[in-house]
Amino acid sequence: MPDAIDRHHVGLRRVRALIAVGALSAAIALLSSDVSALGRSATATAADTLTCWKAAVLGIVEGVTEYLPISSTGHLLIASRLLGLPDEKGSAGLEAVNTYAIAIQTGAILAVAGLFWRRFRDMILGLVGRSAEGRHLLIALVIAFLPAAILGAAFNHRIEDALFGPWPVVIAWIAGGVLILILGRTGRIPTGVQRGATGPDRVTALTYSQALVIGFAQCAALWPGTSRSLATIIGALLVGVAMPAAVEFSFLLGFATLSAATGFKLLTDGGTLVDQFGVINPLTGAAFALVSAVIAIRWFITHLERHDLSIFAWYRFAVAASAIALLAAGVM
């Protein structure tokens, strides 16, 4: 891992802090559900606007979930519905919400850029012929980035129309949890003590063929609820990449993928976002996403030093069960 990451043991206090953040976000979202029910009328109401506190909640949800194997897209989709934001297919409001969910990824992007700045420096040096390892890593990232970029660009609207809803997310949450447990019990997902010692530059040893497989694995995350992080980490582990390198490459690939997706979405639908929600609230969400993403990344790295991914399987089951209960109750 890069030296920019402070690898001291965070302990139980930080775990409790993260749980508290998640619980607070969930509580706020649930409290807003009654408001959202009133807001879904033929004409737009105050509940259909992105207020500052709602922007903060969605920013926290984005930052905490983006790099953990639990799906930020799924969490944002559910959270935005609970917060009373537009969800009617084909409406300008829904397009603005979808654009906002992409735009606040800027915060998560900056988190990785700050924590892994030495890697980006090396890749820039590699681009100008001053770092062989940096050039190798940059090429590997480009190779891994292309499959999902091509597939996403070709089927973006079809994916949004068919899969951006609560039930596809619930199915993906459950399926991902089952996959984690199966691979964990068969030894394909090692614990921290099993993974072996690897140097901080281990990620630069990925082969181009391994990068390509990881890139194809990332395509699975086009299904909301799957988790880009989960898909890329498991893809890396299955082709023999050590856990530390798998996680770091997942972060770096996430930076590339999220940057491209955010840039494309803002260029095509940024005007709709500004017209619907203004500028300040999206920036507020991005700021909260930045801070929460830094905390989540640090915790995730430390957690994997001693544990496997099984805690995320049980979390996925729990959040899927919660979503099913809310759907059955007609809350969303």
Distance CA 320, CA 325 (A): 9
Does some domain include residue 63?
Answer: yes
Closest CA to 303 of 70, 51, 46, 120: 70
Q: Is 2 exposed, middle or buried (0-12, 13-18, 19+ CB in 10 A)?
A: middle
Domain encompassing residue 69: 11-328
Confidence (pLDDT) at 311:
96
The helix/strand/coil state of 304 is coil
Confidence (pLDDT) at 273:
84
Confidence (pLDDT) at 192:
54
Does some domain include residue 84?
Answer: yes
Q: Which structure tokens are listed for 172?
A: 């993906």
Does some domain include residue 82?
Answer: yes
Confidence (pLDDT) at 191:
65
State the virtual CA torsion across 171, 174, 177, 182 in degrees, nearest 10: -90
Confidence (pLDDT) at 321:
97
Cβ proximity of 191 and 217 under 8 Å:
no
Does some domain include residue 275?
Answer: yes
- Number of domains composing the chain: 1
Does some domain include residue 240?
Answer: yes
Confidence (pLDDT) at 107:
96
Confidence (pLDDT) at 47:
38
pLDDT tens across the length of the chain (332 residues) = 444 334 434 443 443 444 443 443 444 343 333 333 333 333 344 334 688 999 999 999 999 999 999 999 999 999 998 998 887 776 667 878 888 888 899 999 999 999 999 999 999 999 999 999 999 999 999 999 999 999 998 988 888 888 889 999 999 999 999 999 999 999 888 765 444 434 444 899 999 999 999 999 999 999 999 999 999 999 999 999 999 999 999 999 999 999 999 998 889 888 888 888 888 989 999 999 999 999 999 999 999 988 999 999 999 999 999 999 999 998 87
Does some domain include residue 4?
Answer: no
CA-based diameter of the chain, in Å?
60
CA atoms within 13 A on the CB side of 28: 17
Confidence (pLDDT) at 28:
36
Confidence (pLDDT) at 128:
94
Does some domain include residue 6?
Answer: no
Closest CA to 310 of 179, 207, 209: 179
Distance CA 172, CA 204 (A): 31
Cβ proximity of 20 and 247 under 8 Å:
no
Does some domain include residue 5?
Answer: no
